[in-house]
Amino acid sequence: MRRTRPFDRAGFSTRAVIVVLALLTASGLVAWLMAKQVDWAPSTKGPLLHTVKRGEFLHEINERGEVESASNVEIRCEVQSRGMGGITILELIPEGTYVQPGDKLVVLDKSALENERKQQEITCSNSEAAVLTAENDLAAAEIAKSEYLQGLYILNENLIQNKKFVAEEAERQALQNLKYSEGLAKKGYVTELRVETDRIAVAKAKLDRESADLELRVLREFTKDKTVKQFDSSISIVQARLNSAKATHKIDTDQLALIQSQVDKCTILAPAAGQVVYANEFRRHGGQDIVIEEGTMVRERQSIIRLPDPKRMQVTAKINEAKITMVREGMPATIRLDAFPDREFEGVVERVNEYPAPTSFWAANVKEYETFVKILGSLDDLKPGLTAEVRIQVEEQHDVLLVPVQTVFEHGEHHYCILPEGKGFRAQEVQIGSTNEKFVILREGLREDDQIVLAAFDYRDKVNLPKLPDKKPSRAKTAPAAAPDAVPVGEKPTAVAEQKTPGVMAPAEDPFKKLDQNGDGKIEKSEAPGAMQQYFSTVDKNSDGAITRDEWNAVKDIMRQRPGGPGGPGAPPQGARP
């Protein structure tokens, strides 16, 4: 029986051990040979030097942006909302389609509007009938007035005048009879009773004449005016009824025209040429996403489609407030797209917004201004939404002395470079111009081909520099620092200022403590900045109207656990702290 060796029991073999030892020996030999060939000692002694040269100075601002059309036609829903849900999209042109003016883009559901239009047509017919009735009543009232003035009144007046003439004739006959009877009575031919009868006949005839006169005066002075006013009143009433009927009919017809226009607006046609882009909206920090598709409910004035003009494209970039003052309209720019890394487009700054762009809750203190850069040249391959890098040329100078920024340091209110001199160094004061964070322009102090120390700040202790005057703060200068009105909100004034150690970063300010102005350990909604108030309810988990330290820290922990960490997808921008 074969005896098992210890290596065999442990799963090793002699051959494997020999191979491993050979590899270790070979790797050690290779390392020794490489070490012999590489000289790890510095090749030269002393600082690195830089030769002053003339060149082209270019100061650019680099920002990321997004390609969009400079002429972007918004296609909105113009149908008035008939409730909270809006109106449904029935047909929708495919996204990316190139359309011409008059092409059909969207068809909205108009069935409810069709029913409403039919009901309104009936209402318009009823109001039109009311107008016709009122017009006939007005015409009849005006005819009745004319009938009275030109017919009935004249007829009554003639009848009364005839009555008056009869009464006057009867009075004249009665007077003659009375006179004749009185003569006969004197001669004794008639009795006194006959004379008295004739006197009564005269009195009656006179009374009939006076009655006729009074009746004629009443007709002319009272009855005519009263009757005319009654006719005028009737005419006014009927006229008012007619005006009301006409106004009602106009309202009904206007409403019918409005409904008809709403029906027409359910079919949306392209007002201009362009490429169809759906107006989708994806919102962060809560809120409902808006996805444009068939069956989606859209409200009045909501964007459905955008028609960018592919022949007029621009890049919209957001520039930080620290750099925005250097950007002006008309400045040249170069644009490079992520989709076409080998192509470079020329551009020009067309517009800079006067006010900062809206920011999120987490970047409330970051101010950025939208800048629009027009793209020049061929635009056949450009599409809206492409990511681009924009380099705005804020300054360009030709044939100037350029040196790296690390070759210049500041001492007091002056700038210096360090030049090698013999076995030592000397400081040379220089006048500097513009800088682009890599190079700085030298105005005076050096000449072309001069040799200067590259890391000048590290050698400032090896040169003689002018002694700076002692700056002892006077009471007049230090007093405002201790004034109560100079203390930040929410902090207590201290008698001794903090000592700042050079090279040590001060502790970051606590944003929660800064916002808690009354120091009660909670952030009330009135204390929150404007950008934070729209997300206040999201952070306020218990809905007590205030954000506690635990709720604040919980949101911070959620942001740290997002994919990508700080600055990753879905996280707030770097530098913005809750």
335 and 344 Cβ atoms separated by less than 8 Å: yes
Record the tokens describing residue 304, joined without a space.
């459905």
Contact 319, 331 (CB under 8 A): no
Tokens 């409904």 correspond to 259
Across 42-137, the runs of DSSP E, i.e. the strands, are: 49-51, 53-69, 72-76, 87-92, 98-99, 104-108
Nearest to 348 by CA among 367, 364, 328: 328
Query: Which domains, ranges and CATH numbers included, belong to the chain?
Result: 47-71+309-466 (2.40.30.170), 76-106+267-308 (2.40.50), 112-265 (1.10.287.950), 509-578 (1.10.238)
Give, for all 578 residues of the chain, the pLDDT tens digit: 344 444 344 444 445 444 444 444 444 443 443 433 333 334 456 789 999 999 999 988 999 999 888 878 889 999 988 766 789 999 999 998 888 999 999 999 999 999 999 999 999 999 999 999 999 999 999 999 999 999 998 999 999 888 888 888 888 888 988 888 888 888 878 788 888 888 898 898 889 888 989 999 999 899 989 999 999 999 999 999 999 999 999 999 999 999 999 999 999 999 988 888 898 877 655 455 788 999 889 989 999 998 887 778 899 999 988 889 889 999 999 999 888 888 888 999 999 998 888 876 666 678 899 999 999 876 677 777 889 999 999 988 999 999 999 999 999 889 999 999 888 899 999 999 988 888 999 999 999 999 999 999 888 888 988 888 776 554 444 434 333 333 333 343 333 333 333 333 344 457 777 777 777 778 877 777 755 666 677 777 777 778 888 777 776 655 544 443 443 333 344 334 33
CA distance 225 to 219: 9
CA distances from 532 to 77, 139, 536, 574 (A): 31, 70, 6, 17
E strand map for 70-177: 72-76, 87-92, 98-99, 104-108
Backbone dihedral angles phi then psi of residue 89, each to the nearest 5 degrees: -85, 120
Are residues 296 and 89 in contact, defined by beta-carbon separation less than 8 angstroms? yes
Q: What are all long-range contacts of 230-237, with beta carbons under 8 Å and residues at least 24 apart? A: 231/141, 231/144, 231/145, 231/148, 232/145, 234/141, 234/144, 235/138, 235/141, 235/142, 235/145
Q: How many Å separate Cα 92 from the centre of its chain?
A: 26
Which of 537-569 are b and which e, b meaning 16 or more Cβ less than 10 Å from the residue's Cβ? eebbeeeeebbbeebbeebeeebeeeeeeeeee
Residue 499, helix vs strand vs coil: coil
Q: Is 170 helix (H, G, I), strand (E, B) or coil?
A: helix
Three-state SS string over 248-270 comes to HHHHHHHHHHHHHHHHHHCEEEC
pTM equals: 0.49
Q: Give the closest residue to 479 by CA, choosing from 497, 498, 506.
A: 497
